[in-house]
């Protein structure tokens, strides 16, 4: 799992990101101002920086240029939602730009995309007797390979990415089937049932009442 540096002077926001990252199994380091960033980056191996723009002392737009030199990807997190600010943020080297207030699922998805792009994401996932090889699209239970459809695998991938976080049926459809899917949300239930059976995860994939599902690790 990746090690992520969170820089935000608001303790509440900083802790919020931290608990969400902890849920899906990432490690993290928390900083509350811009002064310690370079020191931390030099001492610890960091895979990704989540950086607030308005920081006491040096602001995020200034610091990002130094971080990019170390080829560590940066996601900006800010209350500034002007297009010009976004463009500026991306131009000076940030990989992504997230505007407050953000949704945890969205933040995690973007983190995942960037980690994958920078090949810093785990290629396999183990739980109980199940091994999922994410790159190869191979799933084995107790050493025996399980056949899966493409949709089932995408759904599994999405659940693993967001482990310990409840995902609504709508969110699952959006991510796995795409926006233009006109089917019933029951399609999700059917696929979840199949996954539970194939992987022996009846107790791992929890139903969240009236909402969706959560992969508990």
Partner 1 sequence: MKFWQKTYLCVLIVFLITFDLGALALLKKSYKLNEQLDISKGMTEFTSIEKSLSYILRQYTENTGNSDYKAVLSNYAEHYYKNGIRLEIYQADRLIFSNAYQFEGERAEKDGNPYKTVYRKMNDELWLFIGGKMDFNDLKLVISRNSDYLQEYYITLRQYFIKLSSVLSLILSVVLIFLLIHLTAPIRKLNNGVKAISAGAYDQRVKVRGNDEFVELALDFNKMVDAVSNHIEMIKKVSEDKEMFINNLTHELKTPITAIKGYSQFLNHANFNEEERKMAVHYIYEHTARLDSLSGKMMQLLYLKNEQITLEPVHIESLFLYVVNMERHHLVEKQLKIIHECFAEEVYGDQELLKSLLINLVENSIKASSTGGEILLRSYHYQEVVVLEVLDYGRGIPKKDIAKITDAFYVVDRSRSKELGGIGLGLSICNQIAQLHHAKIQIDSKENEYTRVSVYFTTI
Residues at the contact surface with partner 1, assessed by CB under 8 A: 9-10, 12-13, 15-16, 19-20, 23, 32-33, 54, 56, 79-80, 100-104, 164-167, 208, 211, 214, 216
Query: Quick one: 128 or 145, whose CB is closer to partner 1?
Result: 128
Which residue lies nearer to partner 1 by CB, 12 or 83? 12
Provide the minimum distance between the beta carbon of 158 and partner 1 in the complex, in angstroms, as a whole number.
14
Instruction: Tell me what percent of the chain is helix, strand and coil, each rounded to the nearest 5.
Output: 40, 25, 35
Q: How far is the CB of 162 from partner 1 (least distance, A)?
A: 10
- What residues contact residue 24 under an 8 Å CB cut-off, 6+ apart? 108, 161, 162, 163, 164, 165
| 51: number of Cβ within 10 Å | 26
Dig out the tokens for 35 from the structure. Answer: 């002064």
Residue 135 contacts residue 123 (beta carbons within 8 Å): yes
Give the nearest distance from C-beta 20 to partner 1 in angstroms. Answer: 7
Using CA atoms, how far residue 133 sits from 52, 138, 147, 157, 161, in Å, is: 34, 5, 13, 10, 13
Identity of the residue, 53 or 121, whose beta carbon is nearer to partner 1 in the bound complex: 53
Task: Give residue for tokens 């560590």.
Answer: 72
As measured in angstroms, the least distance from the Cβ of 206 to partner 1 is 8
Q: For residues 181 and 211, which CB has a smaller minimum distance to partner 1 in the complex? A: 211
Q: Which is nearer to partner 1, 14 or 148 (CB)?
A: 14
By three-state DSSP, how is residue 42 classified? Answer: helix
Please report how close the Cβ of residue 74 comes to partner 1 at its closest, in angstroms. 19
Query: Shortest CA distance to 82 belongs to which of 114, 53, 103, 112?
Result: 53
């Amino acid at each position: 799992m990746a090690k992520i540096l969170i820089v935000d002077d608001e303790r509440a926001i900083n802790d919020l990101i931290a608990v969400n990252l902890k849920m899906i199994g990432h490690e993290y380091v928390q900083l509350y101002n811009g002064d310690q960033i370079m020191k931390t980056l030099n001492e610890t191996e960091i895979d990704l920086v989540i950086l607030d723009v308005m920081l006491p002392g040096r602001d995020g737009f200034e610091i990002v240029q130094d971080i990019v030199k170390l080829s560590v990807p940066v996601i900006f997190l800010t209350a500034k939602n002007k297009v010009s600010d976004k463009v500026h943020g991306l131009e000076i080297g940030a990989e992504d730009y997230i505007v407050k207030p953000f949704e945890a699922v969205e933040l995690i998805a973007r983190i995942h995309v960037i980690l994958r792009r920078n090949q810093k994401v785990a290629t396999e996932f183990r739980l109980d007797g199940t091994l999922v090889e994410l790159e190869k699209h191979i799933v084995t239970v107790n050493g025996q390979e399980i056949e899966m459809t493409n949709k089932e695998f995408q759904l599994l991938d999405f659940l693993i990415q967001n482990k310990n976080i409840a995902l609504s049926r709508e969110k699952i459809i959006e991510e796995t089937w795409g926006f233009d899917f006109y089917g019933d949300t029951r399609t999700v239930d059917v696929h979840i049932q199949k996954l539970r059976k194939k992987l022996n995860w009846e107790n791992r994939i929890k139903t969240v009442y009236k909402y969706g599902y959560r992969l508990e690790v």
